[in-house]
Amino acid sequence: MTGRERMLKTLRFEQPDRPPHFEVMFELEREAFGLSFPDRRLWASCTAAEKERMIGQCMTIYEKIVERYHWDALAVFWPWSDPDGVRAAKRTFGDEILIGSIVGDTTWSIEHMPDWMQFAVDLVERPESIHEVAREKERVAKRTFEQLAEAGADFIHIVNDVAFNGGPFISPAQFSEFITPYLRREVQHVRALGAIPFVHTDGNIMPVLDDYLSLGAACFQSVDPMAGMDIAEVKRRCQGKMALMGNVQCNLLQDGPWEAIRKSARYCLEHAAPGGGYIFGTSNTIFPGMPLEHYEYMLQVYRDFCAERAP
């Protein structure tokens, strides 16, 4: 079974030969391969020739990541939200794995908040101004989705951090007014373009999980255990409606100990993998500073789990 086939099967809530695995980002390329992605600040000002060279540099690293860690999909994160990166990845990997891209800042969100005080005032006194900004974010996002789908993206990962550990950054009622309708239309637009919509947020979304289920997204990524998201309960509520990705606890991958990493990984696999609808991965990304050996140990736990259940 190819990675692409494995991903599509699990997204249909069918049992693949093993749970698929990939990460939204992998930024330990120096530690793993002695190579470096181009400086992210260079993309905005590079010439066409420089961009082609930099994309080639990214593809070399992506090939090594996919080969060593047996990824079943790739969300092209450098260059970010870029059709040229998607085209290059499609040429590089063909139909062996699922190829996608990442698009952020498509709704009001924590990481793109310009002024918290003004936002709080406008929520009460000028709600139409909140809607106006949300409409513009939706418009820009849809245009980006169209460009990525035209380039051949199999999936589009829509990323907006809209929750803290204690819950959504606005009340559930406000969330249903100012976030959900825009995100739902964006997800529906991705589907209309023939691509698969993934959505992401960190934090605890249990108070608005029904809102997320209403989006029509194929997969929700993060399932943040540091915010109290129990993947067993989330899987129970989402099975057959929205697949899940992630939940291996990132602070444990940062700090250890080994046994805690093993326990977190096994919990995810044992509670979320049966019946399909689960992509194994961390609760965020493989970020700079995480010990590479911790990620590789997480994958050893995964391989052991898969071997135990092999026919």
pLDDT, tens digit (0-9, with 9 covering 90-100), for 8-42: 999 999 999 999 999 999 999 999 999 999 999 99
Domain boundaries defined on the chain: 3-308
pLDDT, tens digit (0-9, with 9 covering 90-100), for 144-153: 999 999 999 9
pLDDT, tens digit (0-9, with 9 covering 90-100), for 273-305: 999 999 999 999 999 999 999 999 999 999 999
**pTM > 0.95: yes or no:** yes
Count other C-beta atoms under 10 Å from residue 161's C-beta.
Answer: 18
Q: Give the C-alpha separation, 200 to 105, whole Å.
A: 11
Q: Residue 26, Cα to own-chain centre: how many angstroms? A: 12
pLDDT, tens digit (0-9, with 9 covering 90-100), for 40-94: 999 999 999 999 999 999 999 999 999 999 999 999 999 999 999 999 999 999 9
Averaged pLDDT score across all residues of the chain = 97
Q: Give the C-alpha separation, 251 to 234, whole Å.
A: 20
* Residue 26: both structure tokens together: 């992998």
Count other C-beta atoms under 10 Å from residue 33's C-beta.
Answer: 14
Question: Does the pLDDT of residue 310 top 90, yes or no?
Answer: no
Instruction: Give the fold, CATH level 3, of 3-308.
Output: TIM Barrel (3.20.20)
Long-range CB contact pairs, 56-63, < 8 A, 24+: 56/88, 58/85, 58/88, 59/88, 59/89, 59/92, 60/35, 61/29, 61/33, 61/35, 61/37, 62/89, 62/92, 62/93, 63/92, 63/93
Q: Give the C-alpha separation, 170 to 127, whole Å.
A: 13
Nearest C-alpha neighbor of 219 from the set 299, 150, 154: 154
Quote the crossing angle between the two packed helices 258-272 and 231-238, to the nearest 10°: 20
Q: Give the C-alpha separation, 147 to 273, whole Å.
A: 33
Count other C-beta atoms under 10 Å from residue 169's C-beta.
Answer: 20
Question: Does the pLDDT of residue 311 top 90, yes or no?
Answer: no
Give the CA distances from residue 197 to residues 87, 157, 190, 192, 242, in Å, rounded to whole numbers and listed in that order.
Answer: 18, 6, 6, 10, 10
Give the CA distances from residue 12 to residues 9, 249, 306, in Å, rounded to whole numbers and listed in that order.
Answer: 5, 25, 20
Q: How confident is the model at residue 309, as a pLDDT?
A: 87
Q: How confident is the model at residue 206, as a pLDDT?
A: 98
* Residue 144: both structure tokens together: 């980006």
pLDDT, tens digit (0-9, with 9 covering 90-100), for 186-201: 999 999 999 999 999 9
Question: Does the pLDDT of residue 233 top 90, yes or no?
Answer: yes
What percent helix, strand, coil does the chain show, rounded to 5? 50, 15, 35
Residue 101 phi, psi dihedral angles, 5° rounding: -145, 170
Q: Give the C-alpha separation, 254 to 49, whole Å.
A: 38
